[in-house]
Structure 1
């Protein structure tokens, strides 16, 4: 799985391990402004989910990756292959829920979770605000099916949420475009149609919820919901706007994680 997921290890060999997991349509390079800041005192691990970045595309199995459980299993495999222990798993967007599932399936392996812009259910439900109506999600998926490149160009500014910094939007759009279209369509359905709300109360490790301001993908109500459902979690509201603070506000993101880890 080291080659399968293009695993990269850096930092202090004897430091507490930190594993950085990227979000939908992205790759490990999205952590380049944050992860190196922890290398002086942590063993830093970055990787690509199968189907993303430089991962082995031949390893993509629609059955295995038909739910987030398949991705969680990969995270566990990576940690065990590297003989890690007391892992701090930093997950962005959908990878926050992948981290929740991994921690539940391998108790004792993970010592803390950092959720960056988590959303356990994107679709609004009775008494729950996820940020999208059923019609919104259906239209989003139909648009992706019809025109992957057009969808990428249209969705990137919504996700990035920093219109005054077009270079960030361009980078995200390029990342979306580089993803295999068939895999992108499949992973999008798994991501936007998942419901992991019931998994949150089972989290038993210290958890940080990093909530961005004006985040169209994970609204503030969602961050508060996750915080309320994960017992003892810490909710930190960032000044950063959009859904990718590790790109738009790396210093603020790093400081919040360091404050949490103490």
Structure 2
């Protein structure tokens, strides 16, 4: 199968610039980066894509066996990098995609030369000495609700994830994105996302890394951002003046400023 068609890969921006790869989170697609692309396009080659099971990716390529682990999504990223022959690309991942980027950079260090993590979480479940934001029971209930009534779950959870109740259009957009995702494929991605534990993988990161967190985030509290920062040697942590788990949508100007400043320092 053509990898670029499989993942609905879009390439835009400056063909002479360093490549920046934008990766969406659970229940989203590449359109969620539409306010970031203009900030990058003059100076950087921008690669966008949809994970299989999301957006306009080819649903016939979906396999529960492959996408039942973060490694399956990381394999997609590496295959896209191979298909485009990317070298030293900057991988910008939102939410769970941050951990996908960690795995992809470990798999193909010649392809990915830097990471930007937007609202990352390596583990959503509280553990001894670690606050992920949820108990194991919380996650079990979340997944049970998602699997029994996906549309209802989407309507309830999207505003919580997005935050910014004074801007209901943001939560509505996220809800519509969730609802456009096939429920069975969403179930697999949700379990992969919320049950994964990539804390040990962070220790293997050897590329320049920027960690971006929101000042308030119901999904990834600030303790998580601090943990990710501590776990990755030499990483930078920026706390955005933003609310919610999708700062690239709710506070695009602040998010874009932080990303472009990091990119400029890489030159």
Q: Same fold (TM over 0.5)?
A: yes
2:202 counterpart of 1:203: no
1:154: which partner in 2?
Answer: 156
The one of 60, 84, 87 equivalent to 1:85 is 87
Q: Does 1:225 align with 2:227?
A: yes
Q: CA deviation at 1:132?
A: 0.5
TM-score for the superposition, normalised by structure 2: 0.97
Q: State the distance in 2 between where 1:117 and 1:52 align.
A: 19
Aligned residue runs from structure 1 range 7-46, under 5 A = 7-46=9-48
- Residue 79 of structure 1 and its aligned partner are, at CA, apart by 1.1
**Which portions of structure 1, spanning 4 or more consecutive aligned residues, are displaced by more than 2 angstroms?**
none
User: Which residue in 2 is equivalent to 1:113?
Assistant: 115
Shift of 1:214: 1.2
User: Where in structure 2 are the equivalents of 1:213-252 lying within 5 Å?
Assistant: 213-252=215-254
Offset of residue 107 of structure 1: 1.4
Secondary structure at the residue paired with 1:63? Answer: helix
Structure 1 residue 36 displacement after superposition: 2.3
Cα distance between partner residues in 2 of 1:55 and 1:36: 23
Q: Report what 2:167 is aligned to.
A: 165
* Distance in 2 of aligned mates of 1:70 and 1:141: 20
Q: Could you list the runs of 5+ residues in structure 1 that have no partner in the other structure?
A: none
Determine the structure 2 residue equivalent to 1:2. 4
Aligned position for 2:57? 55
Secondary structure in 2 matching 1:187: helix
SS of 2:127's partner is: coil
Q: How far off is 1:217 after superposition?
A: 0.7
Structure 2: which 5+ runs fail to align?
Answer: none
- Rounded to whole Å, the distance in 2 between the matches of 1:44 and 1:198 is 30
Q: How many angstroms apart in 1 are the aligned matches of 2:66 and 2:107?
A: 16
- Number of equivalences: 262
Q: TM-score, normalised by structure 1?
A: 0.99
Shift of 1:153: 0.3
